[in-house]
Each structure stands twice: as C-alpha cells, then as structure tokens.
Amino acid sequence: MLLKSHHYNPQVYLKQFVDPHRKKELWEYDLRTGAVKLSSPKKSGCEDYYHSIVGKDGARDDKAVEESFSVIENRLPTGRQLPGELVPVTGLYAGRLSHIGS
C-alpha cells in the first residue's frame, strides 16, 4: 500500500474539530495566506511524503514513520472531546473569519 499523504496533524485529533452537523467537514484556515476553506480530516494537516525518509541504500521509505505513528494514534481516544460550547472569535482573526457560515 502506498502511503503518499502524510499527516503532521493526526486525523484522530482533527476529527475533534468537525462540524457536528456535517460529520466529516471542518474549516481550515491558512495562517500564511489568510485563506479559509472547507476541508476534512483526511485532506487537512498533511503533505505528500512529509514523513518519508531515505535509507542507507538510498531508497525512499514512505511507510516506516507513518506506520510507527499509527501504532500510537490507534490508541488515542476518538470522538468529539472538546468542550461542547463554542467560544467566540475575537480580535485579529474575527474579521478574517466573519464570512464563514454566511
């Protein structure tokens, strides 16, 4: 199995931020560009071959690091474990995020 898309933010963690009414969607904010977009835990917080390493033989290993993380991530609690109440966004980001959901 080819492991191309490597998460630097584990999907089990990102799943805590999904919209409870739309189960598999979350909002993603890019700090560099200020762009806001609808995404999913599978597509967010990842880059192609982010955890790939090069072995002594010069071959790229796309699985070793990802598989070692999966052992840990599979033991983490799942489900929404954040406070149930939404906290209002204020200050610098309030204006940038004001169009979400409108």
Domain ranges of the chain: 5-97
Q: How far apart are CA 62 and CA 6, in angstroms?
A: 9
* Model pLDDT for residues 79-94, shown as the tens digit of each residue: 555 445 555 555 555 5
Q: Which residue has the tokens 């939404």?
A: 86
* Model pLDDT for residues 20-56, shown as the tens digit of each residue: 777 788 888 988 999 999 999 999 988 998 889 898 9
- 39: which residues sit within 8 A by CB, 6+ positions away? 25, 26, 27, 28
Q: Kindly calculate the radius of gyration of the chain based on its CA atoms and give it in whole angstroms.
A: 17
Tokens for 95, please give them: 């204006």
Q: Which of 102, 22, 4 is nearest to 61 (CA)?
A: 4
